[in-house]
Structures are given as structure tokens and as C-alpha cells.
Amino acid sequence: MSIHHLLSFVEKEHGPIDIFFANAGVLSTGGVEVTNEEWQKIWDVNTMQVVHVARHLFPLFEQRRKGFLVVTASAAGLASMPGAMPYAVTKHAAVAAAEWLAFTYRNRGVHVSCLCPQAVRTDMIGSTDGGPAGIDGILDPNDVARVTIEGVQRGDFMIMPHAQVQGYMVSKVQNYNRWVKGMSRIVDEFANFIPPPSRL
């Protein structure tokens, strides 16, 4: 069932959708060697889900002058992700899509939030310690949910369950050269880390 048909079914059977969580996400590890087919699959899930949902729901939200979209991106969409180029790139694109929708529809009664956690104890990290994403600890899904709800209630655009991420972003913007050097050290530090397999 396509997203369009799913949303149409829910609206018909259960009434208007007030808030939608674009929470689908898949992990693809590796770098330039990742196949075009795998790139397309992760792009379709991690990035294009936002476009498909907005294409269907935002005209309805506009008509009602209310509606809320929460895009689950990742801290990888802000500060990249060593060892997982497709994941980092598609999550950057998801953040960009959320930003564009937020400022374009802000004055039309539609609100967008962007959720950017680091490692969360889900199947995505498997039995690992999270590798580079787990540097600042692995959060329980219930804690991430609580922080997300609080952010939505405040009307926040950017929701960062790991407080350290904001500092990383400030550092990145202030000095990109220093940030690249720092990330390269993380690559070296986790050179022997075996990431969970791609989930495609």
C-alpha cells in the first residue's frame, strides 16, 4: 500500500490526521562502494517518505489551518556518520526537507519538527555499543519519545534528545576545518568497529 493510499484510508475510516510521525528509517553502511540499487532504496525510505507524506497531507493541513509533521532524521543528518555514507547523506536530505517545509508552511497553519537523536536502543544498532553514534550514550526509546512529545508541545523545530549534538553543530559551523579533522579522528578511533549490517 502506498503512503497516499494509507493516508487516504486513515482519513476516511478514522477522521482527519492531526499529526504524522515520519519515522521510517533504514541503515546502509559503507561508502562509495555501496551499489546504486542500495542508494536508491535508502533514499526512497529515509528522504522521500517526507516528500510523499507532505504531498498528500499538507494540502489538507492548509485547508484546516492546522497540522503537524514530525520528521525523524538523525544526528547523522547534522554531524554526519563515519562508516555509513548513504545513511548520513539521506538523513542530511531529510533534515533539509524538514527545514524547507517548516519555513514554507509556517504561516499556513502547518508546523514541522525535526527529530535528530544519536544512538537509540533499537534494532538499528543491534547488539553493538552504537559505534560512533554511541559516543554520548545510547538512549532508551521511551526517553526519546518523552523528549519528542515535549518538543512538539513547545512547537520546537529541532529536537535533539542528546544535548551534546547542539554543541557539535555550533563547533561545526564555527570552524569547518577543525570539524573535518575531528571527524577524521573519530574514523580512526572506530576503524575496527563492526557496524550492524545494512537493513535493506
User: Can you give the pLDDT at residue 36?
Assistant: 96
pLDDT of 199 > 70? The answer is no
Closest CA to 135 of 178, 189, 86: 189
Annotation says 105 is catalytic: no
Secondary element (H or E) of residue 113? strand 110-115
Residues 45-81 have pLDDT tens digits of: 999 999 999 999 999 999 999 999 999 999 999 999 8
In the chain, which residue ranges form alpha helices assigned H by DSSP? 3-14, 36-46, 48-64, 76-79, 85-105, 141-154, 164-174, 176-189
| Catalytically annotated residue among 87, 105, 168, 176 | 87
Q: Which helix (H) or strand (E) holds 145?
A: helix 141-154
> What does the chain come to in residues?
200
Cα three-residue angle 72-67-17, rounded to 5 degrees:
85
pTM recorded for the entire structure: 0.89
Summarize pLDDT for 4-13 with one digit per residue, the tens: 888 899 999 9
pLDDT per residue as tens digits for the range 108-152: 999 999 999 987 777 776 666 656 666 777 778 999 999 999 999
